[in-house]
Amino acid sequence: MTATTTATTVNAVLRTAPAPPAEAAAYFRASLAFHTDVSDVAAAMSAEDGAGFVLLDCRSTESWDQGHVPGAVHLPTARIPGQAGQLLDPAVPVVTYCWGPGCDGATRAALALAELGYPVKEMRGGFEYWVREGFAYETRQGPVRPAADPLTVPVDAADCGC
């Protein structure tokens, strides 16, 4: 490394400078308008006054039968244009989920709902992280309560501090 080389030219994190704080705030505010996570969904769904949204599983029937979030509505993405009006109130926000973070199914479902005029967010992590964080789920055979994956949940599962 030469004397004129700086840390920002070799450091992949800082090679592109961070956005100015006002731009960063706008970006992260917008991100929260489009996304939520499984822990926040679980907490909202267990609140005494209700969640205030509909949780929508957009996966296939086979995937739904394998496991789904209790209280979720099942509506595969391909059926949204024809059936959303029968199952969902356009005044109630919808939170979509699919298998996991490596799947764009929830994004495609959210897009289809937004194009129909529904207020919508996507649940990051999907069903995979719902299960990995140890939240109960239902299968065709009945309810399941998995042990939490210690790599996905905080030491104090009730409050990660974020």
Domains and CATH numbers, the chain: 35-144 (3.40.250.10)
| Cβ atoms of 70 and 41 closer than 8 Å | no
What is the model's pLDDT at position 158?
Answer: 54
Percent of the chain predicted with pLDDT > 90: 76
- 159 pLDDT more than 70: no
Residue 79 burial (CB count, 10 A): 14
What is the model's pLDDT at position 155?
Answer: 58
What's the one-letter identity of residue 151? L
Compute the distance between CA of residue 102 and CA of residue 128 in angstroms, rounded to an integer.
Answer: 10
What is the model's pLDDT at position 150?
Answer: 86
Q: Is the whole-model pTM more than 0.85?
A: yes
What is the model's pLDDT at position 79?
Answer: 98
Q: What is the three-class DSSP state of 50?
A: coil
67 Cβ neighbours under 8 A, 6+ residues apart: 127, 131, 137, 138, 139, 144
Q: Which alpha helices (DSSP H) does the chain contain, by range?
A: 7-10, 21-34, 38-45, 61-66, 80-87, 105-115, 126-132
What is the model's pLDDT at position 1?
Answer: 46
Compute the distance between CA of residue 34 and CA of residue 21 in angstroms, rounded to an integer.
Answer: 20
- 107 pLDDT more than 70: yes
- CA dist 74 → 63, 71, 93, 149, 152 (Å): 10, 9, 15, 26, 26
